[in-house]
Amino acid sequence: MRPGKVYLVGAGPGDPGLITCLGMKMIRDADVIIYDRLVSKELLDQARLDSIKVFAGKGMGESEKQDHINQLLLSYASEGKMVIRLKGGDPFVFGRGEEECIYLLQRGIQCEVVPGVTSALAVPASAGIPVTSRLASSGVTIVTAVRSNGEVLEAEYIPSKGTLVILMGVHVVDQLKRRLLEVRLPMEPVAVIEKGTLPEQRVFVDVLERLDQVVKENQVRAPAIFVVGEVVKMRDKLKFI
């Protein structure tokens, strides 16, 4: 039996309508779909009735599950199946897609990436915040709040100006705020966006020195994104949600 193939497919930022046309075609054609926690039921409902669907979402502190996911991908592909690894956002934007692809290629399994709309750009846009603008910022930096070793992002990764988009920071907001204030100004605008692009989306705008208070007072839960910079002020002019 010839080996199958694995496609790393980006499911987009949350709203099922924001998946790409190619991503949707992959879901409908797949023999096996191994999907993450943030993938919507509406997308899974597009799969063939006879396809195998395996939940492989990881919660905070469950990175050890990655080895099991890698083995699942290898096992199903080795059976000659067309396997979809369905990930929220884009597989190569803090999605560990590159790790999975390397693992498979080293074992003789073909792997292809179908890019997705990353939440780092789509979620601010859905809240009326452009991450770049000639009126406010000529650049954007996307970071994750926590490094692979569990430590909070080092100050050297934080730019002193321009837009800063921070993913996966709710659970370390106290430490993250202190680190941000080593580089950025206390009164700099900040937006906290919870469940972006979904009907339940909530947006809170304040200043950086109150970031932790905003999260706690409003009981913000993941998934949530922080946006720091002058572009946040543009929400007042572009607020359509």
User: Which of the residues are catalytic?
Assistant: 36, 58, 168
- Which residues, in sequence order, are bridge partners of residue 226? 166, 192
What SS3 class is residue 150? coil
The secondary structure of the chain in percent helix, strand, coil, rounded to multiples of 5, reads 35, 25, 45
DSSP conformation class of 182? T
Counting Cα atoms < 13 Å in the Cβ hemisphere of 236 gives 7
H-only helix segments in the chain: 21-29, 41-44, 65-78, 97-105, 119-126, 173-180, 211-217, 235-238
